[in-house]
């Protein structure tokens, strides 16, 4: 299989996965590294390439977006844009080793919250359609930190957002999926803008174009699929993605330290 075809298929899978349940970075990044890009360059290039697909997914699901708690959608989006930009700056100026070591634990936390957050909230008497304790300031603070992570690395940032909203607000992951797509897009927007001017992501234009094309097609297809999936099926996709990524990252960390 040629490098261009491999990257095109990876972009298609990543765009679809991002629209359905998150985790596209874990397909896009390894594919770009496999064809010869350095990890930092591949990370920047995957963010740029996945942005149009994320925009496509956000456009398809725009009418399904629901407000996250008491924080306005405008405030949440602004926070995501600012955090994504700061994360991109950190990627360009700081070593990634220490943060990379924390990624498996972040994913494990997100997986546990998504799996057990709503039952735990019910146990403590919180209804799934009612805020479970976090006010607007706390939600925006958490969103900013996750957006910084998203701009810096990006892997599973959407799942972490769903975890925050599920644990802190009782928001069902299926109901929050359209907002997740929109906020991941906002994070990618500022990060990609910085990567375009300050990284060497454009050093492989054909690979970037192939992944971008696949991601756009996948973003449209995945967003339409997400709107048609039953809530239980969508939750299963999100949880399955989270579990898979958590296991893979713990294995990756074990190999790196072994």
Q: What confidence tier does 140 reach under pLDDT thresholds 50, 70, 90?
A: very high
**Highest mean pLDDT out of 98-102, 154-158, 170-174, 210-214:** 210-214
Residue 257, pLDDT > 60, answer no
CA 255 to chain centre: 24
What's the rounded Cα separation, in Å, for the pair 23 and 17? Answer: 6
What pLDDT score does 124 carry? 47
Residue 227 has what pLDDT? 72
The residue ranking higher by pLDDT, 66 or 189, is 189
pLDDT of residue 118: 58
pLDDT digits (tens, 9 = 90+) for 73-109: 999 999 999 999 999 999 998 876 766 677 778 778 7
The residue among 141 and 14 whose pLDDT is bigger is 141
- pLDDT for res 246: 78
Distance CA(103)–CA(247), nearest Å, equals 11
pLDDT digits (tens, 9 = 90+) for 174-201: 788 899 989 999 999 999 999 999 988 8
Residue 222 tokens, joined: 């995945």
Residues with Cβ within 8 Å of 98's Cβ and at least 6 positions away in sequence, in order, are none
Asked if residue 132 lies in contact with residue 121, where contact means CB atoms within 8 angstroms, the answer is yes
Q: What is the pLDDT of residues 25-42, one digit of tens each?
A: 878 888 888 898 888 888
**pLDDT at residue 126 in the model:** 47
Residue 109 pLDDT? 77
- Give this prediction's pTM: 0.79
Please, are residues 31 and 6 in contact by the beta-carbon 8 Å criterion? yes
Distances (CA, A) of 15 to 84, 150, 256: 19, 16, 28
Q: What is the mean pLDDT of the chain?
A: 83
Residue carrying structure tokens 């890009």: 37
Query: In 3D, which of 111, 197, 196 has the Cα closest to residue 155?
Result: 111
Structure tokens at 248: 């893979």
Count of CB atoms situated within 10 Å of the CB of 170: 21
Residue 61 banded pLDDT, cuts 50, 70, 90: confident
Q: Percentage of residues in the chain with pLDDT exceeding 70?
A: 86
* Highest-confidence segment of 47-51, 58-62, 77-81: 77-81
143 or 57: which carries more pLDDT confidence?
143
Q: What is the pLDDT of residue 242?
A: 74
CA 3 to chain centre: 25
Band of pLDDT at residue 47, cut at 50, 70 and 90? very high
- Confidence at residue 125, expressed as pLDDT on a 0 to 100 scale: 43
């Amino acid at each position: 299989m040629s490098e261009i075809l491999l990257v095109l298929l990876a972009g298609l899978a990543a765009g679809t996965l991002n629209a359905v349940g998150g985790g596209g970075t874990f397909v896009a990044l390894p594919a770009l590294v496999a064809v010869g890009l350095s990890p930092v360059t591949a990370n920047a290039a995957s963010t740029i390439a996945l942005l149009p697909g994320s925009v496509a997914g956000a456009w398809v699901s725009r009418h399904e977006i629901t407000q996250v708690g008491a924080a306005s959608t405008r405030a949440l989006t602004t926070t995501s844009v600012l955090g994504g930009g700061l994360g991109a700056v950190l990627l360009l100026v700081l070593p990634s080793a220490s943060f990379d070591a924390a990624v498996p634990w972040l994913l494990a936390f997100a997986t546990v919250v998504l799996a057990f957050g709503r039952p735990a909230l019910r146990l403590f008497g919180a209804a799934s359609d009612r805020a479970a304790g976090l006010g607007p300031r706390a939600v925006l603070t958490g969103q900013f930190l996750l957006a910084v992570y998203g701009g810096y690395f990006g892997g599973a940032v959407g799942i972490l957002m769903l975890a925050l909203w599920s644990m802190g607000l009782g928001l069902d992951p299926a109901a929050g999926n359209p907002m997740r797509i929109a906020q991941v897009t906002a994070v990618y927007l500022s990060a990609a803008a910085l990567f375009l001017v300050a990284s060497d992501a454009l050093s492989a234009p054909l690979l970037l174009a192939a992944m971008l094309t696949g991601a756009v097609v996948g973003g449209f297809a995945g967003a339409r699929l997400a709107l048609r999936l039953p809530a239980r099926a969508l939750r299963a996709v999100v949880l399955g993605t989270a579990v898979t990524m958590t296991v893979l990252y713990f294995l990756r960390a074990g190999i790196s330290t072994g």
